[in-house]
A and B are shown apart, each in its own frame.
Chain A
Amino acid sequence: MIDSELFDQMLTLAAFDQAITVLFVDDGVYRLNRETGEPVSTMETAGLLELLAFYDIESVWVEEESLVQRDMNLDDARLSVRTMLREDVAGLLARHDVILGD
């Protein structure tokens, strides 16, 4: 069940036609697989990303170092999430008007 209040906040912003970028960092990467904590390539992750995509949230990133530190990987080609390096996160933050965390 995708019931996170953070996701509802993102989806509502998207429904108001705001351009949204989602970035998973630190323990946030576990949200890519909340149920089992297994590697992130699961049906549920696909479902979450599908929901984001349904509302036109297609800029979805996960920080490489956060994955590596947690022995997680993103090798499922079905997943539309892209990885970025920690050193590029500052630049991403600077390109947005509002930054909301969890």
Chain B
Amino acid sequence: MGVLHLVNSTEGLGRCRDRLGPDDAVILLEAGVYTAMAPSGKPEGMDVDLFVLQEHLSQRGIARTRVRPAFTLIDFEGFVGLTVRHTRSVTWA
């Protein structure tokens, strides 16, 4: 099912925003995790499952309370699980 979008830069989320299919999901990694912070609510136009890699948030000292509620925190095991559930992935640097 669907495409898993790997976002590893601050520009990446904007780049994939209008290129998402209904069964897709997004995971924020590395510098991409900054885009999980406020403003609150769902990033506009992104009606898909949104995830953020917890380890990369912690490394940057971003508290989970600053992460928009639309994002689910996930560890590496969960990341692997997402790549199993989605048949393909694309990286947005």
Task: Name the interface size band of chain B.
Answer: 10 to 19
When A90-B3, A90-B24 are in contact, do A97 and B88 touch as well, CB less than 8 Å? yes
Task: Name the interface size band of chain A.
Answer: 10 to 19
Complex contacts, A99 vs chain B, CB 8 Å:
3, 88-90
Complex contacts, B21 vs chain A, CB 8 Å:
90-91, 93-94
In the assembly, what is the distance between CA of A96 and CA of B92, in Å? 17
Which residue on chain A has the smallest CB distance to residue B5?
A: A93
* Contact bitstring B65-93, A, C-beta under 8 A = 1, else 0: 00000000000000000000001111111
In the assembly, what is the distance between CA of A46 and CA of B51, in Å? 41
Instruction: Name the distance in Å between A69's Cβ and chain B's nearest Cβ.
Output: 12
In the assembly, what is the distance between CA of A96 and CA of B90, in Å? 11
In the assembly, what is the distance between CA of A94 and CA of B87, in Å? 9
* Contact bitstring A72-100, B, C-beta under 8 A = 1, else 0: 00000000000000110111011011110
